[in-house]
Amino acid sequence: MKKISAAITGVHGFVPKDVLTNEDLSKIVDTSDDWILSRTGIKERRIMKDGASSDMAMEAVNALLRKKNIDPLEIELVIVGTVTPDYPFPSTANVLCDKTGMKNAWGFDLNAACSGFLFALSTGSQFIETGKYKKVLVVGVDKMTSIVDYQDRTTCVIFGDGAGVVLLEPNEEGLGLQDFILRSDGSGRQFLIQPAGGSAMPPSHETVDDRMHYVKQEGKQVYKFAVTNMAEVSAEIMEKNKLTSDDVAWLVPHQANLRIIDATANRMGLPSEKVMINIQKYGNTTAGTLPLCLWDYENQLKKGDNIILSAFGGGFTWGAVYIKWAYNS
């Protein structure tokens, strides 16, 4: 019997229509288009005024199922990478299945911050590789504007809202997920954290007054870890799979900072034409960045392309995934 691998056979995304430009932000906090653009590469981001993470995910999922002509009842498992679930419980995956009519699917949320999509993709693939399931959806979605402090110029300029989804199906031609390296190190948790709202610091008047339900980031510290670890793990997965820079068709990097993306591409020896970038228009959508990149670049991808996805995020969490693209658009 041929080995079964988990291939991405479709991708779609959703971003809200409302745009928040650097210019707009400079009217809210003490910042400028020049500072944001030169430090991060971001020009604007999308913000969701009404609705929850599941609503963005629903738009992406509905569009993907329509595009692939798949009945929602065929989906067996849904994994949602997110740090902005609709509720602490029930899971966003549960809500999403209800809103989209995926009544035969079970699902769960996976919290690995900006590495959420990579962790979810690797997890979902296992259910395909064992032969257990034929159709698994992996979603990356975050409504970062629901946890960003618009009085904190060091974080509010970075983040945006968005969702992406991929369909995983079995492949017997050796395409799809080839390898993954995933890491986490909880000793870095204080550098990027939403301190209140969980069991460590339950909600109270004080936590609200102290603005503890918002994202807190020590940017410099996170930058230092991100720039080293994202580059290293991306190079490591190439070496482990004996890939040269010529063999790699695309790098799909987490979109947190253009300087981190450049450092990763340099470490891998990749020219900028092989690097997916959409940070300028969406900012950092946390778990949404990687599937949104795949969606934006889908038309340029060819069957057999070697693609490395890599990310770094709160936790700390980080990793790289090596896939062989499975279809021509």
Closest among 328, 251, 315 to 112, alpha carbons compared: 315
Does residue 142 contact residue 84 with C-beta atoms inside 8 Å? yes
Closest listed residue to residue 279, CA positions, set 288, 270, 271:
288
Rounded alpha-carbon distances, angstroms, from residue 153 to 24, 26, 28, 114: 13, 9, 9, 20
Cis? peptide before 90, omega within 30° of 0: yes
Query: Which residues carry out catalysis?
Result: 114, 254, 284
Rounded CA separation 294/117 (Å): 12
CB of 8 to ligand UT7, least distance (A): 22
Helix ranges, the chain (H): 22-25, 33-40, 53-68, 92-100, 116-129, 153-156, 205-209, 219-240, 258-268, 279-282, 289-297
- As measured in angstroms, the least distance from the Cβ of 162 to ligand UT7 is 13
CB neighbours of 273 closer than 8 A, spacing ≥ 6? none
Residues of this chain that interact with ligand UT7 (CB under 6 A) are 31, 35-36, 39-40, 114, 153-154, 157-158, 219-220, 222-223, 226, 256-257, 260, 284, 312-313
Query: CA dihedral defined by 154, 156, 161, 164, rounded to 10 degrees?
Result: 0
Distance, CA of 72 to CA of 62 (rounded, Å):
8
Rounded CA separation 322/307 (Å): 6
The pair of structure tokens assigned to 145 is 């504007």
Residue 132 burial (CB count, 10 A)? 11
Q: CB of 32: closest distance to ligand UT7 in angstroms?
A: 6
Say which amino acid occupies 298: E
Report how far residue 78's alpha carbon sits from residue 93's, in angstroms, rounded to the nearest whole number: 6
Output DSSP code: residue 3: P
> For ligand UT7, which is the closer residue by CB, 31 or 280?
31
